[in-house]
Structure 1
Amino acid sequence: MAYRIQEWAASERPRERLEAHGPQALSDAELLAILLRTGVRGENAVDLGRRLLHTFGGLVGLHRAPFAEVKAQHGVGTAKAAQLKAALELGRRLAAALSSQGARPRIESPEDAAALLMYEMSALEQEVLRVLLLDTRHHVLGAEDVVRGSVNRAQVRIAEVFRAAVRRNATAILLAHNHPSGDPAPSPEDVALTREVVQAGRVLEVEVLDHLVIGRGRFVSLRRQGLAFE
Structure 2
Amino acid sequence: MLAADYTPTIHELPQDMRPRERMAYAGAGALSSAELLAIILRVGGRGENVIRMAERVLTQFGGLTGLAQTGFDQLCQTHGVGQAKAAQILAALELGKRIMAAAPEERLQVRAPVDVANLLMLEMGLLEQEQMRTVLLDTKNRITRITTVYSGSLNTAVVRVGEVFREAVRANSAGVVVVHNHPSGDPTPSPEDVRVTQMIVEAGALLDIDVLDHLIIGRNRFVSLKERGLGF
Give the TM-score range, shorter chain. Answer: 0.5 to 0.7
Matches within 5 A, 1:63-74: 73-74=51-52
Q: Is the 8 A contact 1:128 1:147 kept in 2?
A: yes
Indicate the residue corresponding to 1:107 in structure 2: 110
Q: Where do 1:185-224 residues align within 5 Å?
A: 185-224=188-227
Matching residue of 1:128: 131
Tell me if the contact between 2:138 and 2:174 (Cα under 8 Å) persists in the aligned partners.
yes
> Hey, which bits of structure 1, 4+ residues long, moved more than 6 A?
none
Bigger radius of gyration among the two: 2
Matched, 1:35 2:30: yes
The correspondence for 2:172, drawn from 161, 169, 173, is: 169
Question: Which of 181, 197, 211 lines up with 2:184 in the alignment?
Answer: 181
CA RMSD of aligned residues (A): 3.2
**Could you list the per-position Cα deviations for residues 66-117 of structure 1 after superposition, in whole angstroms to 9, with x for gaps in the alignment?**
6x88x962599xxxxxxxxxxx9xx99xx6xx96xx7241111011000111
Percent identity between the two aligned chains:
45
1:200-221 residue CA offsets vs partner (Å, 9 max, x unmatched): 1111110000000011111000
CA distance, structure 1, for counterparts of residue 141 and residue 107 of structure 2: 10
Determine the C-alpha separation between the residues in 1 that align with 2:50 and 2:226: 48
Residue of structure 1 aligned with 2:154, choices 151, 159, 166: 151
Over residues 165-184 of structure 1, what are the superposed CA-to-partner deviations in whole Å (9 max), with x where a residue is unaligned?
01111110000000001110
Return the alpha-carbon distance in structure 1 between the equivalents of residues 199 and 217 of structure 2: 20
Amino acid at match of 2:125: S
Residues 145 and 75 of structure 1: CA distance in aligned 2, closer, same or farther (over 3 Å): closer
2-side partners of 1:152 and 1:105: how far apart? Answer: 30
1:160 counterpart residue number: 163
Matched letter for residue 159 of structure 1:
G
State the number of aligned residues.
158
Specify whether residues 33 and 153 from structure 1 end up closer, same or farther in structure 2 by C-alpha distance, changes over 3 A only. farther
Q: SS where residue 217 of structure 1 aligns? A: coil
Structure-to-structure mapping, 1:33-112, within 5 angstroms: 35-36=30-31, 49=33, 51=34, 73-74=51-52, 103-112=106-115
The answer to whether structure 1 residue 142 and structure 2 residue 145 are counterparts is yes
CA distances 1:20-39 after superposition (whole Å, capped 9, x unpaired): xxxxxxxxxxxx99733xxx
Counterpart contact for 1:110–1:212, Cα < 8 Å: yes
- SS for the counterpart of 1:132 is strand
The aligned residue for residue 66 of structure 2 is none
Looking at structure 2, the residues matched to 75 and 177 of structure 1 have their Cα atoms a distance apart, in angstroms, of: 36
Q: Identify unmatched segments of 5+ residues in structure 2.
A: 1-26, 55-91
Measured in 2, the distance between the counterparts of 1:194 and 1:209 equals: 11
Distance 1:183 1:167, change over 3 A: same
Residue ranges of structure 1 left out of the alignment (5+ in a row): 1-31, 37-47, 57-61, 77-87
Q: Normalization by structure 2: what TM-score?
A: 0.60
Contact 2:41 2:50 in 1 (8 A): no
Answer yes or no: is the 8 Å Cα contact 1:104–1:141 preserved in 2: no
The whole-number CA distance in structure 2 between the counterparts of 1:150 and 1:171 is: 28
